[in-house]
Amino acid sequence: MSIALPTPPEHPRSLVYFGSPDAAVPPLLKLVEAGFEIPLVVSMPDRRRTRRAAPSPTPVKKAALDLGIPVTDQISDALSVEADCGVVVAYGQIIGVEFLMKLPMVNVHFSLLPRWRGAAPVERAILAGDQSTGICIMGLEPELDAGPVYRKREIPIDEQITASELTEELAALGAEELVAALQHGLSNAQPQEGKVTIAKKLFRSDLELDWALSASELSRVIRVGGAWTTINSSSLKVHQANVIEGESEAGRLIKDVVGTGKDSLQLLVVQPEGKSRLDAVDWINGARLGDEVYLGT
């Protein structure tokens, strides 16, 4: 049996904001600029970005504190302030039904729902070779990213754009659409229609370059970020590469070009294990790899 959750008021003015990464900063700034009252921001706890660094705040927490807005990492604190509803943008934590019963929520999701519900919609859209993506302003329900949609915008996916660049573009678009939705009124929400696909979280294994795949497929993995392969049992990250025509043995590196299942990849920026990023040609010239070299070994 479905649970009837409270819906946000048509014209909310006071909002608790839930967000954590860089992508959630533009909507927060846009809400403040538009004059919405934000009595509290809820963000993930401070954490170490590197092993030796001191714990540091999330980008949203830092932005909120710079604006003079109180911040907490305890979700229950959101019920201690007067607010019409909550706004969620890449918060990083599932919000339970018990909480949703007490505070209606609006979410900014970076995909064209119901395609790519879940944790990594931008990355999955690129990996799948989608021609377009977009944002949805939606109501929150117990089922993940299944709520009704108040507002939707679609944009094309450029063949060279990286996941970080696309996320930045969608964050700006989501900020505009969020403010427009709240100002024009949260009404006439439409149920999601179409085939549901799930944007599962990416793991390191998802980003290993399989040289039997086509150069276009491998290029998408590289554009997502974190792509890697091996050479002589050592890890090699690939940060940037170009697809070029011409066949070569899969995985074989000749100068700065690697053969794939279809066409080839020209390496541009790489990062050998334990070292900084390098121009691929500089790495090859300095590594003295020999005449017959294969990646993925």
Examine residue 1 and state whether it is found in any structural domain, yes or no: no
Q: Which of 93, 77, 85 shows the shortest CA–CA distance to 144?
A: 93
Q: Which of 199, 231, 260 is the last residue of a domain?
A: 199
Whether 9 is in a domain gets the answer no
Per-residue pLDDT of 210-253, as tens digits, reads 999 999 999 999 999 999 999 989 999 999 999 999 888 999 99
Cα 184 from Cα 176, distance rounded (Å): 12
- Which amino acid, residue 229? T
Residues of the chain above pLDDT 90, percent = 89
Q: Are residues 128 and 233 in the same domain?
A: no
CA distance 188 to 179: 16
Is pLDDT of 1 > 50?
Answer: no
3 domain residue, yes or no: no
| pLDDT of 152 strictly over 50 | yes
Rounded to whole angstroms, the Cα distance separating 219 from 214 reads 9
Q: What is the pLDDT of residue 173?
A: 98
Band (4; pLDDT cuts 50, 70, 90):
confident
pLDDT, one tens digit per residue, over 121-135 is 999 999 999 999 999
Gap between the Cα atoms of 216 and 254, Å rounded:
19
CA distances from 58 to 12, 42, 64, 107 (A): 26, 11, 10, 19
Final residue belonging to a domain, choices 154, 184, 199: 199
Looking at the structure, tell me whether residues 172 and 216 fall in a common domain: no
Predicted pLDDT at 2: 58
Identify the domain containing residue 149 by its residue range.
Answer: 14-199
- Of 199, 222, 246, which marks where a domain is finished? 199
Same domain for 181 and 225, yes or no, is no
Classify residue 223 by burial, with Cβ atoms within 10 Å: 0-12, 13-18, 19+: buried
Instruction: Count the Cβ atoms, other than its own, within 10 Å of residue 263.
Output: 17
Band (pLDDT 50/70/90 cuts) for residue 168 is very high
- Asked if 74 and 210 sit in the same domain, the reply is no
Within this chain, do residues 28 and 90 fall inside the same structural domain, yes or no?
yes
- Tell me, yes or no, whether 44 and 174 share the same domain: yes
Assess whether 47 and 141 both reside in one domain: yes
Q: What is the end-to-end Cα distance of the chain in Å, rounded?
A: 53
222 and 194 both lie in a single domain: no
74-80 mean pLDDT: 96
Q: Is residue 137 part of a domain?
A: yes
Q: State how far the alpha carbon of 27 is from the alpha carbons of 32, 121, 162, 169, in Å.
A: 9, 18, 21, 12
Question: What pLDDT score does 51 carry?
Answer: 75
Residue 120 lies in a domain: yes
Q: Do 73 and 153 belong together in one domain?
A: yes
> In terms of domains, do 64 and 137 share one?
yes
User: Which one, of 73, 5, 2, lies nearest residue 40 by Cα?
Assistant: 73
Number of structural domains (the chain) is 2
Reported as a single tens digit per residue, the pLDDT across 264-297 is 999 999 999 999 999 999 999 998 887 789 999 8
The pTM of the full predicted model, rounded to 2 decimals, is: 0.94
Residue 40 sits in the same domain as residue 151: yes
Place of tokens 């930045």: 168
Domain containing residue 93: CATH number: 3.40.50.170
| Same domain, yes or no: 19 and 136 | yes
Residue 275, pLDDT score = 93
